[in-house]
Chain A
Amino acid sequence: MKTDNHFGAHTLPNGLRIVVEQMPDTRSVAAGFLARTGARDEVPELAGISHFLEHMCFKGTTNRTWEQINTEFDDIAVDYNAFTSEERTFYYGWVQTENLEKQIELLADMMRSRLPAEEFDMEKKVVLDEIARSNDQLMHVAYDFLHNTAFDGHPLGWPVLGHDATVEALTREQMSAYYQERYAPNNLILIAAGDVTLERVIELAEKFCGQWESGPAKPERQTPKMKVGSVLKQLDQFGQQIVALCYPAPSSVDPLHETANAAASILGGQNSRFFWNIVQEGISPDASCYRIPYCDYGMTLLWGQADPQNCERLLEAMQSQAEKIGTSKVDEQEVQRVKNKRRTSLAVESEAPYYRLVQIMGDVDLLGAPRSIDQRLADVDAITVDRIAEYFESYPFDAQDRLLISVGPRDWQGQN
């Protein structure tokens, strides 16, 4: 058992890792199981299985029916749910301190789902409906198209929800095999934050998870390479047009992580260059820049939505701003403002166990250990004008390395 500051960590003999942050002045606890598997860990014919499995984990165990799971969570939880992304699946709850044991018991039980056969087809209909819902929303369609284009042929290109055809074709047996392999305790991490001690969480984990048997380590991931060029998708059912430029960026574990975020914030965050030169010029109501980091790769995304006739202006403005920030140093005050905002947001995060839980989850998965608020502040304080300049030398907005996508009703060239 290791403790550091308010953090503690421990690994059970079966490989289940436990990470806890004890937060002073809180009266609640957020806890969750991180399953280190997501859409990029799927094979093409099983696209969507991680997300569908997340749904099925709520559908019944050897101890509980789905009604009991839902009812017992509603008896105790301030909040609870689960989500699936490209690289992970996370099940969480947030309860008042006295309900911690019940919460961990419930979450642990769900990690040993029975995948009830009688619920499989019913839940498949729900997932297919979720896909239909996504298909009706331009933002979702464009985000999936972006990934599909950027990572064509690589699992990062599959949509997290899967395709109608792959979800339709999924069998319970396929899901069961995937589940056995990916939800072994050595591929799970139990995380808790709030009014709780490491000793207490270890005690509960031993009680509810100690008998689980280890499984194979998760499969190796293949590092992707982003495609470049221009790919446009004309869809008449939408009225607006998405224009997005993607450039290579640092991964989640790269030391330039915070610097890359600061650069994106200066370019396309609140009160940013995009805000004043694109939004306030009336070109687009929604133009932003952010980084999409994965464990071994990253993309900086310049993203805008506009009336179709504004596409050229939007693309030109985004490219122009990217070129400027990449070729001349940012202002010292711009950097300082990003740091100031970050300091406040970290203070806000420190109040809420759930916010901390999600942050710790990302740190533990990607960096191997959580970072305290103070550590993260130090990382932010280390950002300088020169560091950002060095960052753009390593990751330039180079026209040869960029991917342009556009989705919407207009058939245009996008060759600016």
Chain B
Amino acid sequence: MKDPIHLNLNCGVEMAAAPMPGKHVVAMEFRILSGTAEEPEDKLGLARLVKETIDKGTGKRSGRELLDAFDDIGAPTGAWVGREAAGFTCICLPEFLEQAVGLHAEFLRTPTFPEDAVKTAIGLTEQEIGSLEDDPPSLADKYIERYGLGPVLGRCPLGERHTLAQIGREDLVQHWQQQYCTGRMQFSIAGAVDPDAVAKIIQTHFDGFGSAARVGRDGCGFTFEPTRKHYDKKIEQEQIALCFPGAAVGDDDYSAMRIMLGVLSGGMSGRLFTEVREKQGLAYDVHAMAENPRGQGMVFVAASCKPDVADQTFRTLLRELERLSEDLTDDEVSRARSRVIAREETMADMTRSRRGTLAADLFHHGRPRSIDERLAKIRKVTREDVIAYLSSHPRDRMSIVTLGPCGLADAQTADTIGALPNEDG
């Protein structure tokens, strides 16, 4: 597999391309380096509203005509808003590449944000906030992210009802004018493509789109403040979520953290699955994962269980986090390493997946990396590296959220987390 290409185009767009000869599709992403962290505090939800409405009308077409034009070339699109970026994705057959790029340029550069579309988007978002209440695992995620990543990075993209009420069309226009420009744009593409030809297409379509000066490359940072909070909800399960600081993507021990997570929750032999589900039958779902805003790392652990075993489940989670540094084995590290490598190598054969790794590398490293380079540090991680990571990232300061009918009750649990400030929800 050829090394990916990295180009800084004159128009200001930063581009990464992975030619994959023989593939029948092209996968691309336009990433704008501006997310929910850029929203004014009293207008939370703004970034997502821009994402929802930016394709609802352009200087040339109505929203419907625009989506029809994408469908005319059989190019399904997607969009997302994250903490520090927004992304617009598309897959198409290679012969429709230029048309697909042209349509993206049209709505990214000349959105009209029709008044009725904005009002509709706000109303729909309010309903989606209501939907979140009917999905307890997702609701618990929203709460723990707030306490894990802080009041800025931990924002929910949906916003809040009272902040949505403060947003009007002019806010969307202003946000787009300030945040959407080539200086904030990263473009990633994988599949049956010629990078030079793609670069010309991007240059042609995006030249002159806002400021080309590089901005949005730095993380916004936050200070972690451990918090304990229970949200009372009359449901059958208790949702338990906790988090604590981990390594950032650029840190030397980031690969060791990935292997640690593999040991903890990488598959059915992971320690959490083994101890919580297989040995005690406490919970159907238990997992751990990392979130990595730029320059930051946070490990999240979650389980949902019947209320009568919530304390036992919680104690088991804590014990497994503690036990990692006591009896980690070479076999566990080797297994987690093999799994990461096999997964990455195999997924790299898929156009969409390769586009995803290119975009992530541009975002975190400022350049695309080959699969070999992406895996080089992983291949070298040893048990000692993971132990060293665990020593430098103690799990003694954590935020804890419970959502359900009773929270955590018994004495041992209370002792464990008693030092934390407790806010009743």
Interface residues, chain A, CB within 8 Å of chain B? 25-28, 58, 66-67, 69-71, 73-80, 94-96, 121-130, 132-133, 135-139, 237-240, 270-271, 276, 279-282, 284-286, 305-307, 310, 333, 336-337, 339-345, 347-348, 350-352
Which residues of B sit under 8 angstroms from A342, Cβ to Cβ? 74
B residues less than 8 Å from A66 (CB atoms):
278
**Chain A residues, CB < 8 A from B292:** none
Cβ contact within 8 Å between B92 and A344: yes
Chain A residues closer than 8 Å to B24, beta-carbon distance: 347, 350-351
Q: Is the CB of B134 within 8 A of A239?
A: yes
* B304 CB within 8 Å of chain A: yes
Contact with A along B61-76 (1 / 0, CB 8 A): 0011001101111111
Selected contact of B339 from candidates A28, A74, A237, CB within 8 Å: A74
A337 touches B71 (CB 8 A): yes
Q: Mark B324-358, 1 if CB is under 8 A from A, else 0.
A: 00000000000100110011011101111000000
CB contacts (< 8 Å) of A307 on chain B: these are 126-127, 130
A28-B346, A126-B277, A351-B24 known; 15 new pairs, CB 8 Å cut-off, are: A58-B268, A76-B342, A96-B342, A127-B284, A129-B281, A133-B237, A137-B136, A138-B134, A238-B133, A239-B134, A282-B124, A285-B124, A341-B74, A341-B76, A352-B350
Cβ–Cβ contact B284 & A126, under 8 A: yes
Q: Which of B73, B127, B273, B343 contacts A340 (CB 8 A)?
A: B73
- Nearest opposing residue in chain A for B307, CB measure: A132
How many whole Å from B340's CB to the nearest CB in chain A?
A: 10
Question: With the chains together, A324 CA to B268 CA distance in Å?
Answer: 50
Q: Are the C-beta atoms of B306 and A129 separated by less than 8 Å?
A: yes
- A345 cross-chain contacts in B, Cβ below 8 A: 76
Is A94 a contact of B346 with CB atoms below 8 Å? Answer: yes
In B16-74, the 8 Å CB interface with A consists of 22-25, 56, 63-64, 67-68, 70-74
Whole-angstrom distance between the alpha carbons of A270 and B347 in the complex?
A: 26
List residues of chain A with CB within 8 A of the CB of B338: 75-76
Contacts known (A74-B269, A129-B237, A343-B93); A96 close to B73, Cβ less than 8 A = no
- Whether the Cβ atoms of A286 and B131 lie closer than 8 Å is yes
| B86 on interface, CB distance cutoff 8 Å | no
- Looking at chain A's contact residues, is the secondary structure mostly helix, strand, loop, or mixed? helix
- Of A27, A76, A240, the contact of B349 (CB 8 Å cutoff): A27
* A67:B346 contact, CB within 8 angstroms: no
Contact B120 A281 (CB under 8 A): yes
Do A70 and B120 touch (CB < 8 A)? no
Say which residue of A127, A137, A279, A343 sits within 8 Å of B135 (CB atoms). A137
Q: Which residue of A lies closest to B119 (CB)?
A: A282
Shortest Cβ distance from residue B45 to the other chain A in the assembled complex, whole angstroms: 14
Interface range for B: 35 or more
Q: Is the CB of A70 within 8 A of B274?
A: yes
- Find out whether the CB atom of B134 lies under 8 angstroms from the CB atom of A347: no
Q: How far is the CA of A4 from the CA of B126 in the complex (A)?
A: 53
Cβ–Cβ contact A351 & B349, under 8 A:
yes
Within 8 Å of chain A (Cβ to Cβ): is B266? yes
What are 7 A-B pairs with beta-carbon distances under 8 A? Answer: A26-B349, A67-B269, A239-B133, A344-B25, A344-B74, A344-B75, A351-B349
Cα(A336)–Cα(B72), bound, Å:
7
Closest B-chain residue to A24, C-beta based? B22
Candidates A79, A282, A350; contact of B343 at CB < 8 Å? A79
Taking CB atoms, residues of chain A closer than 8 Å to B342 are 76-78, 95-96
Known: A123-B281, A285-B124, A347-B25. A74 touches B335 (CB 8 A): yes
Chain B residues lying within 8 Å of A280, measured Cβ to Cβ, are 56, 63, 117, 120
Within 8 Å by CB of A132, from B119, B120, B237, lies: B237
Report B409 CB to chain A, min CB distance, Å: 18
Look across to chain B and name the residue whose beta carbon is closest to the beta carbon of A125.
Answer: B281
B234 lies within 8 A of chain A by Cβ? yes
Evaluate whether A133 and B284 lie within 8 angstroms (CB atoms) in the complex, with A27-B346, A70-B274, A78-B346 already known: yes
Residues of B within 8 A of A352 (CB): 349-350
Contacting pair A70 B25 (CB below 8 A): no
How far is B268's CA from A133's CA once the two chains are assembled, in angstroms? Answer: 19
The smallest beta-carbon distance between B27 and chain A, in angstroms, is 8
- Chain A CB within 8 A of B384 CB: no
Interface residue from B235, B267, B281 paired with A122 (Cβ < 8 Å): B281
Q: CA–CA, A42 to B341, complex, Å?
A: 41
| Bound: A1/B126 CA distance, A | 59
B25 touches A337 (CB 8 A): no
B71 and A340: CB pair below 8 A? yes
B283 part of interface (Cβ distance < 8 Å): yes
Task: Return the chain B residue nearest A305 by Cβ.
Answer: B131
Nearest B residue (CB) for A339: B74
Do A130 and B284 contact each other (CB < 8 Å), given the known contacts A240-B134, A345-B76, A350-B24? yes
The CB with the most chain A CB atoms within 10 A, among B76, B128, B268, is that of B268
Are the CB atoms of A348 and B352 closer together than 8 Å? yes
Q: Are B350 and A351 in contact (CB under 8 A)?
A: yes
Once the chains are docked, how many angstroms separate the CA of A104 from the CA of B51? 45
List B contacts of A137 (CB < 8 A): 134-137
Does any Cβ of A come within 8 Å of B91's Cβ? yes
Nearest 10 CB-CB pairings of A with B: A340-B74, A125-B281, A337-B71, A138-B134, A70-B268, A74-B267, A130-B284, A70-B269, A132-B236, A122-B281
**Cβ of B305 under 8 Å from chain A:** yes
Residues of B within 8 A of A306 (CB): 127
Q: Is B72's CB under 8 angstroms from A337's CB?
A: yes
List the B residue with the shortest CB-CB distance to A285. Answer: B124
Contacts of B68 in A (CB 8 A): 271, 333, 337
**A160 to chain B: closest CB distance in Å?**
14
Task: Tell me, rounded to whole Å, the shortest Cβ–Cβ distance linking A346 to chain B.
Answer: 9
B123 contacts the other chain (CB 8 A):
yes
B115 at the interface (CB under 8 A from A): no
B274 touches A67 (CB 8 A): yes
| Bound Cα distance A334, B278 (Å) | 50
List the A side residues contacting B131 at CB < 8 Å.
138, 239-240, 285-286, 305
A348 touches B25 (CB 8 A): yes
Q: How far is B305's CA from A136's CA once the two chains are assembled, in angstroms?
A: 11
Which residues of the partner chain A approach B350 to less than 8 Å between Cβ atoms? 351-352
B127 touches A240 (CB 8 A): yes
Shortest CB distance B128–A (Å) = 5
